[in-house]
Amino acid sequence: MILKAFENGADGVMVVGCLEGDCHYLVGNIRARRRVERVARILAQTGIGAQRVRMVNLSAGEGAKFVSHAAEFDDHIRELGPSPINVVRSKAAAVPAAAQAERPGGPGGPGGPGGPGALRTEAAREQR
């Protein structure tokens, strides 16, 4: 699911699990962390970058903390810039758009999902 998010254009994914030792599914959040680590290894191997996925542990009552984690992750991803996939896709999209713009009256400018600067931070709650 996390890899799919990157395929679909996410620049970063933050996975939020409940506090360790306090999971309704006992070790669900521990397993989730290991799986996130595996995803990070895959992202490193595929050239996307391991630092684009992160797991944090929060309780359902830590709304303010969630906001600060999300904001910090958002800054972190903005600093990294768009994922290499989005860079390639936006370049590919820019070529026909530029060709169209050259035509008299043709619509110009890139746009749509995956363009440069497009940032999607997807926080998925792994376990309640």
Position 110 contacts another protein (CB under 8 A): no
* Burial 14-25, CB ≥16 within 10 A → b, else e: bbbbbeeeebee
Segment lying near another protein (by CB under 8 A), choices 2-10, 13-21, 53-61, 94-102: 2-10
Query: DSSP letter string over 81-93?
Result: -S-HHHHHHHHHH
Q: What phi, psi does 124 have (nearest 5°)?
A: -110, 125
Integer Cα distance of 63 and 72 in angstroms: 14
Please, what is the minimum distance in Å from the beta carbon of residue 80 to another protein? 14
Map tokens 């970063």 to a residue: 12
Helix/strand/coil for 56: strand
Segment lying near another protein (by CB under 8 A), choices 12-20, 65-73, 77-85, 118-126: 77-85
Position 89 contacts another protein (CB under 8 A): yes
Site string for another protein, 14-53 (x = CB under 8 A): ----------------------------xx-xxxx-----
Please give the residue ranges that form the binding site for another protein (CB under 8 A).
3-4, 6-7, 42-43, 45-48, 83-85, 88-89, 91-92
